[in-house]
C-alpha cells in the first residue's frame, strides 16, 4: 500500500535515479522527491507501521507518531526549499549526497527500532561529510576528515549502546529510557548528544559548516542536529541533566559567536545555542516542554536555513565570508539583506515571526516547572542571539565600513528560495495555530500575551541600544578562534605516528612475513635432507653475499623449531 511506503525510500530512490537524468534536468527533478515525500508524510495516518523481516529481527522501518510526523514534515519541506536554492548547482555528487542526507534524516525520524535508526544515522554522517569535501578546498578536505573521525566516534558510542541494549533486553524496539537506567542508555545518549553538538562534543559543527559547499551548508544546518533532538525527545524525555546541558549550550554558542569572524561560522555557533533550547526542553520533559522542543526545531530549521542562504549569497557573489573583508553591501543587495533580516528577526524572537511563537514555549515550560534560573539564562542567551545574528552580522556585512567589494548578481533561484523560507517564517509567526495543531500534545498556549510582548520588546530594544553604543568593539577580528577541537587537533603528529605510521609498519612487516613463510616451508618440506645439510651459523669472516643457510635466518630457525616441536608432540 502506498500509505505504508516509507518516505525515506522516496529520497533514496531519487539518489539512485537522479544521475541517470540529463544534466540540465537533474536540478528540477531533484525537487520532485522531497515534494513527493512531503505529500506522503502529510497523508500518513498516525499509528501507521510497516515491518520488514531482516535476519532474525523484525525491523519497524516506518512508525508514524505525532512527534515523528512534525519532524518528517519539516525535513521534507526544507528539502524543497534547499532544492530551489541549489537549482543552479550541476554537480551530481552534491545532488545525490543531499538526497541521501535528507533520506537518512527521515529514516531516523520514522524508525521504530535501533537497527533502522542506526542505518539512517550512518548514511547521514557519510552524506553530510561529502558536502564538506565537495567544497574542494584544502581547508574543507581537512575539516571533512575531522568531521568523519568525530562522527565515527559518535556512531561507535551509539552502536555500542545499541548492542548492549539489544543483548540485555532481547529487543531492538525503541522505547524511552528511565533516567540513568543502564550503561546502554548512557552510551546511546552520548552518541546522540554528539550529533546535537552538545559541548564539549560540539566543535565538529563550528569547524565544518562554514567550510561546506554553499548549498550543502543549508542542508547541514537543518538535518543533523535536529534529527538528534528528535531522538533525544523520543528516548530521553525528562532527563534532568539535559536541562542543565541545554542551558549551557544556549549560552556557550552565543559566547563563542563573539569570537567568530566567518559569517557562516558565526551562524554555526548560533545553531549550538538554539539547539540548546531544544535540549533543555527535552530535559524538562513535560508535555508543554516537548511541544516547545518540536515547535522550536520546526521554526529553527526554517529561519536557520534562511540565514545560511543569506550568508551563502554573500559568499557566492563576493567570494568572501569574513566580517573583516565585508561591509557596505547593502546598496548592491537590498533584497538579500531584508530577506536575511526576516531570518534574523525570527531567531531573535521578534513578535510576528516564528521564533517568537516557539522559543517562548520552552521558556514558559521552564517557568511552570519552577526552573527560574534556567528561564533567566535562556533569556540571556536570547539577547546574545539578537546581538550577533540580528545586529553584528548584518551590520558589518551590509552596512558599517565600505569594503569596496562589488558583488556579482546572485542567481534568481537563490533569492526565490530565501523568499519561500521567509514566507513560512512570517506565516507561522502570524498564525501559530498552523504549527501548534501539528505538535505531539494538545495544549492551550497563547504566545501573544501582553506580558510576553512587553518582555520581548524590552529585551530587544535594550540589546539594540547596547549594540549601537559598542558596535565598533563588536567588529570581526582577523583570527581563527580554536574551540575544544584543539584537544584532538594539537596532538595530530603523535596520533599520526601511532595510528598511521606505526600501523602501516606493522602491516608491512606482516606482509613481508606472509610472503616469506611459504618460501621457507617449501624449502623445508621439499628437500629436508638438503635443508639440514645447509644449516650453518655465520662465521667470523662474514660474507654478505654468501648463502648463510637457514639457521642464520631467524624466520627459518623459528619455523624449524615449530616443526620439530609439532613432530615431537605428534610422536608422543
- One digit per residue, pLDDT tens: the chain, 572 residues? 455 789 999 999 999 999 999 988 999 999 999 999 999 999 999 999 999 998 888 999 999 999 999 999 999 999 999 999 999 998 999 999 999 999 999 999 999 999 999 999 999 999 999 999 999 899 999 999 999 999 999 999 999 999 999 999 999 999 999 998 899 999 999 999 999 999 988 889 999 999 999 999 999 999 999 999 999 999 999 999 999 999 999 999 998 888 888 999 999 999 999 999 999 999 999 999 999 999 999 999 999 999 999 999 999 999 999 998 999 999 999 999 999 999 999 999 999 999 999 999 999 999 999 999 999 999 999 998 998 898 999 999 999 888 888 999 999 999 999 999 999 999 999 999 999 999 999 888 999 999 889 988 998 999 899 888 888 777 767 777 777 877 777 777 787 787 778 778 888 878 777 777 776 666 666 666 665 555 554 444 445 444 444 444 555 555 566 666 666 665 65
Q: Are residues 196 and 55 part of one domain?
A: yes
Which residue, 453, 487, 521, sits at the end of a domain? Answer: 487
Q: Are residues 475 and 498 part of one domain?
A: no
Q: Are residues 461 and 522 part of one domain?
A: no
Q: CA dist 326 to 150, 319, 336, 391, 420, Å? A: 32, 10, 15, 15, 26
Burial of 526 (0-12, 13-18, 19+ CB in 10 A): exposed
Contact status, residue 144 vs residue 129, Cβ threshold 8 Å: yes
Q: Are residues 295 and 219 part of one domain?
A: no
Q: Are residues 64 and 35 part of one domain?
A: yes
Residue 407's φ and ψ, nearest 5 degrees, are: -75, 150
Q: Are residues 453 and 534 part of one domain?
A: no
Distance CA 273, CA 202 (A): 11
Tell me, what's the pLDDT at 539? 47
Contact status, residue 40 vs residue 1, Cβ threshold 8 Å: no
Q: Is 571 left (phi over 0), alpha (psi -120 to 50) or beta?
A: alpha
Rounded (10°) angle between helices 372-385 and 354-368: 160
Q: Are residues 11 and 125 part of one domain?
A: yes
Q: Are residues 231 and 246 part of one domain?
A: no
Residue 173's φ and ψ, nearest 5 degrees, are: -75, 145
Q: How many independent structural domains does the chain possess?
A: 3
Distance CA 568, CA 219 (A): 68
Q: Are residues 101 and 164 part of one domain?
A: yes
Q: Are residues 18 and 159 part of one domain?
A: yes
Contact status, residue 297 vs residue 229, Cβ threshold 8 Å: yes
Q: Residue 227 has which C-alpha cell? A: 534529527
Which residue, 434, 454, 487, sits at the end of a domain? Answer: 487
Which residue, 487, 515, 530, sits at the end of a domain? Answer: 487
Q: Are residues 354 and 311 part of one domain?
A: yes
Q: Are residues 183 and 122 part of one domain?
A: yes
Tell me which residue range forms the domain holding 554: 492-571
Name beta bridge partners: 57. 54
Contact status, residue 292 vs residue 281, Cβ threshold 8 Å: yes
Q: Is 129 left (phi over 0), alpha (psi -120 to 50) or beta?
A: alpha
Amino acid at each position: 500500500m502506498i500509505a505504508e511506503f516509507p518516505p525515506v525510500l522516496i529520497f533514496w530512490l531519487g539518489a539512485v535515479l537522479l544521475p541517470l537524468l540529463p544534466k540540465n534536468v537533474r536540478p528540477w527533478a531533484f525537487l520532485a522527491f522531497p515534494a513527493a515525500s512531503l505529500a506522503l508524510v502529510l497523508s500518513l495516518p498516525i499509528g501507521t507501521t510497516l515491518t520488514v523481516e531482516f535476519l532474525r529481527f523484525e525491523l519497524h522501518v516506518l512508525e508514524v507518531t505525532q512527534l515523528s510526523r512534525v519532524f518528517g514534515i519539516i525535513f521534507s519541506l526544507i528539502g524543497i526549499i534547499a532544492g530551489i536554492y541549489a537549482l543552479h548547482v550541476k554537480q551530481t555528487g552534491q545532488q545525490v549526497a543531499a538526497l541521501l542526507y535528507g533520506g537518512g534524516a527521515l529514516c531516523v525520524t520514522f524508525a521504530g527500532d535501533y537497527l533502522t535508526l542506526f542505518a539512517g544515522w550512518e548514511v547521514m554522517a557519510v552524506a553530510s561529510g561529502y558536502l564538506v569535501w565537495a567544497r574542494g578546498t584544502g581547508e574543507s578536505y581537512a575539516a571533512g576528515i575531522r568531521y568523519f573521525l568525530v562522527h565515527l566516534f559518535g556512531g561507535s558510542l551509539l552502536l555500542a549502546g545499541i548492542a548492549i541494549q539489544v543483548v540485555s533486553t532481547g529487543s531492538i524496539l525503541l522505547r524511552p529510557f528511565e533516567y540513568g537506567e543502564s550503561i546502554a542508555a548512557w552510551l546511546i545518549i552520548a552518541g546522540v548528544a554528539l550529533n546535537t553538538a552538545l559541548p564539549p562534543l560540539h566543535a565538529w559543527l563550528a569547524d565544518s559548516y562554514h567550510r561546506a559547499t554553499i548549498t550543502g551548508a543549508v542542508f547541514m544546518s537543518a538535518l543533523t542536529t535536529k534529527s538528534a533532538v528528535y531522538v533525544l525527545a523520543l528516548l530521553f524525555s525528562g532527563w534532568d541533566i539535559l536541562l542543565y546541558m541545554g542551558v549551557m549550550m544556549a549560552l556557550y554558542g552565543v559566547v563563542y559567536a563573539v569570537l567568530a569572524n566567518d559569517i557562516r561560522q558565526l551562524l554555526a555557533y548560533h545553531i549550538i545555542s538554539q539547539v540548546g533550547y531544544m535540549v533543555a526542553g527535552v530535559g524538562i520533559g513535560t508535555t508543554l516542554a516537548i511541544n516547545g522542543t518540536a515547535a522550536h526545531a520546526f521554526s529553527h530549521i526554517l529561519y536557520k536555513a534562511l540565514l545560511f542562504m543569506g550568508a551563502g549569497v554573500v559568499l557566492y557573489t563576493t567570494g568572501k565570508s569574513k566580517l573583516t573583508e565585508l561591509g557596505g553591501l547593502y546598496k548592491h543587495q537590498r533584497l538579500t539583506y531584508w530577506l536575511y533580516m526576516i531570518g534574523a528577526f525570527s531567531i531573535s524572537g521578534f513578535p510576528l515571526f516564528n521564533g517568537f511563537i516557539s522559543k517562548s514555549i520552552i521558556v514558559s515550560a521552564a517557568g511552570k516547572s519552577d526552573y527560574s534560573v534556567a528561564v533567566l539564562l535562556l533569556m540571556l542567551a536570547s539577547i546574545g542571539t539578537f546581538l550577533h545574528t540580528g545586529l553584528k552580522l548584518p551590520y558589518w556585512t551590509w552596512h558599517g565600513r565600505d569594503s569596496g567589494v562589488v558583488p556579482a548578481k546572485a542567481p534568481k533561484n537563490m533569492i526565490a528560495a530565501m523568499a519561500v523560507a521567509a514566507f513560512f517564517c512570517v506565516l507561522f509567526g502570524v498564525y501559530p495555530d498552523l504549527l501548534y495543531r501539528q505538535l505531539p500534545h494538545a495544549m492551550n498556549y497563547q504566545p501573544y500575551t501582553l506580558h510576553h510582548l512587553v518582555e520581548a520588546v524590552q529585551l530587544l530594544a535594550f540589546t539594540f541600544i547596547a549594540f549601537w553604543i559598542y558596535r565598533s568593539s563588536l567588529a570581526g577580528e582577523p583570527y581563527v578562534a580554536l574551540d575544544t577541537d584543539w584537544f584532538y587537533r594539537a596532538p595530530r603528529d603523535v596520533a599520526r605516528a601511532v595510528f598511521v605510521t606505526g600501523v602501516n609498519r606493522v602491516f608491512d612487516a606482516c606482509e613481508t612475513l606472509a610472503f616469506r613463510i611459504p618460501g621457507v616451508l617449501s624449502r623445508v618440506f621439499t628437500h629436508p635432507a638438503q635443508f639440514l645439510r645447509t644449516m650453518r651459523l655465520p662465521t667470523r669472516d662474514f660474507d654478505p653475499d654468501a648463502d648463510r643457510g637457514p639457521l642464520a635466518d631467524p624466520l627459518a630457525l623459528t619455523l624449524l623449531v615449530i616443526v620439530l616441536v609439532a613432530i615431537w608432540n605428534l610422536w608422543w
